[in-house]
Structure 1
Amino acid sequence: MELSTLAILALVAFTAGFIDAIAGGGGLLTIPALLTAGLPPHLALGTNKLCATFGSATASYTFYRRKLFNPSQWRNALIATAVGALLGAILAHWLPSDWLNQFLPVVVFACGLYLLFSKTPAAPPTTAAAIARGRQWPQGLTLGFYDGVVGPGTGAFWTVSSLLLYPLDLVRASGVARSMNFVSNACALSIFIISGQVAWLLGICMGLALMVGAFLGARTAIKGGAKFIRPVFILMVLALTARLAWQHWFGLT
């Protein structure tokens, strides 16, 4: 891969990490970018999991260190997410490349539209109530499985669903999302490593850039977010995925 292409992908990863730590959806940018750079779909998914693990680890540790995520309250969700991600990554490994080439733009485009037009649920009036543990199993299995198969938008889906299901404010819901995202990324990555579907040099370079973006983004989120970035980011994602769909569905460039 040319040095200029590597630099562009690293810049994309930095942007994705920053946005992902604030509102989720970083994979909406990195997966189309990897596909546009010419990586086969399985290799793009595996490489994306490698760089995403860097970013989600940084962001989740930031929330944990600031006491905005308590692992003991979310034990069921952590286990369920790990199981779901492993099963999802195994399924993704066996899906034909042609299916993924046509399937990925659809999923990314649909998630982008959802994130563009959806509104973040209001936080409950109090956050002192206990966290329900039974709800964590279906939530973790479903979102973990989705992250293992594809992944774009998982962080945002975790944030929104956690606000709907538990007495959390937006910052703590973001802490849950970052932590669960790290678990599902790491578990799915292990499957892609075993199957040899990771471009290590590219993934590490993008991962380091994504870590820096996630480090800055997590602090921005904790301070109140930067919501004005989100519409521009999602519109850019939609344009990129529309190009991918045009290329893979109609054979045009």
Structure 2
Amino acid sequence: MAELTVPVVVMLCLAAAMAGWVDAVVGGGGLLLVPALLIGLPEAAPAYALGTNKAVAVAGTAVSAVTYARRSPVDVRLALRFGVLACGSAALGAAFASAVSKEFLQPLIMVLLLSVAVFVVARPDFGTVPGGRTAGRRRQAAALLTAGAGIGFYDGLLGPGTGTFLVIALVSLLHMTMLTASATAKVVNVGTNLGALAVFTAGGTVLWQLAPLMALFNMAGGWAGAHMAVKRGSGFIRIVLLTVVTLLVARLAWDQWWA
């Protein structure tokens, strides 16, 4: 890999800060950070972009999770249960990452994301008001399997849109508002990032000479994003979610058919 230059480092740090903000509000920070790493480090293998992204993101999501927990209603015990399960699932997904065809998965992800966008647009009150009832054990178990095991595995396997999928799953299955779902998703996302990072670190695909500095900027962006989300509420998060889904679908379509 070529030696890092100051302009490249500055660009990557700014991208890390922006990714931290987006990730804190609704997830999807990898949409910004992974492409930035691929552009800034053209001679590095893609695995280094994925591994370094996890090393950076785990810091930002941790700051976001703590900020949310202090300023918004979060069931910390429930969130930790999700996070622990997601950690193991993400590690398993990362171990299988090299064996999966992106050509198969990316169109499937685009369909899922478009379905999410249509669903949210068709239901303007989705996630903006509480569901009015407590989720029962069956729904909690379904949420654990979906948001903990399933999405955790996906995050280790591929990654784009993990935070968005977590928010939608938590709102749909546990009747959370967008704000509470985003807060809970941050705790779960810490688990998925740690699980995947352990595998990438073992494989030697993390650029540790770069990741700590980018992590500081990611943490700053995550702190700012979490504060803004708490202040602006679920309606603001809903708008950001639809924007991120649109950009993520466009990015995946570019990778699939035009890149």
TM-score of the aligned structures, taking structure 2 as reference length: 0.80
Aligned residue identity for 1:71? V
Gaps of 5+ in 1: 249-253
The residue number in structure 1 matching 2:71 is: 66
Which residues in structure 2 correspond to 1:111-190 (within 5 Å)?
A: 119=120, 121-122=126-127, 123-126=129-132, 132-139=139-146, 140-190=148-198
Cα separation, partners in 2 of 1:112 and 1:160, compared to 1, 3 Å: closer
Query: Which shifted more, 212-221 or 74-83?
Result: 74-83
The 3 A distance-change label for structure 1 pair 84 and 32 is same
Shift of 1:77: 2.1
Deviations 1:69-105 (A, max 9, x none): 223234542332122111011112x438xx56x6797
- The residue that corresponds to 1:95 in the other structure is 99
Amino acid at match of 2:226: A
| Identical aligned residues as a percent | 32
Count of matched residue positions in the alignment of Structure 1 and Structure 2: 244
> Residues 91 and 239 (structure 1 numbering): CA distance in 2 closer, same or farther, change over 3 Å?
same
Shift of 1:183: 0.7
Residue 41 (structure 1) aligned to one of 43, 46, 50: 46
Pairing of 1:222-241 with structure 2 (within 5 A): 222-223=230-231, 224=233, 225=236
How many Å separate the matches in 2 of 1:81 and 1:65? 22
Would you say the 8 A contact 1:47–1:197 is kept in 2? yes
The C-alpha deviation readout for 1:11-49, integer Å capped at 9, x for no partner, is 111111111111211111111221222131111110000
Q: 1:111 to 1:217 in 2, by over 3 A?
A: farther
CA contact 1:24–1:155 (8 Å) conserved in 2: yes
Runs of 4+ in 1 over 4 A off after TM superposition: 102-118, 127-132, 226-248
Distance in 1 between the 2:253 and 2:135 partners?
43
| 1:219 alignment partner, SS class | helix
Unpaired segments ≥5 residues, structure 2? none
TM-score computed with the length of structure 1 as normaliser: 0.82
The residue type equivalent to 1:126 in the other structure is G
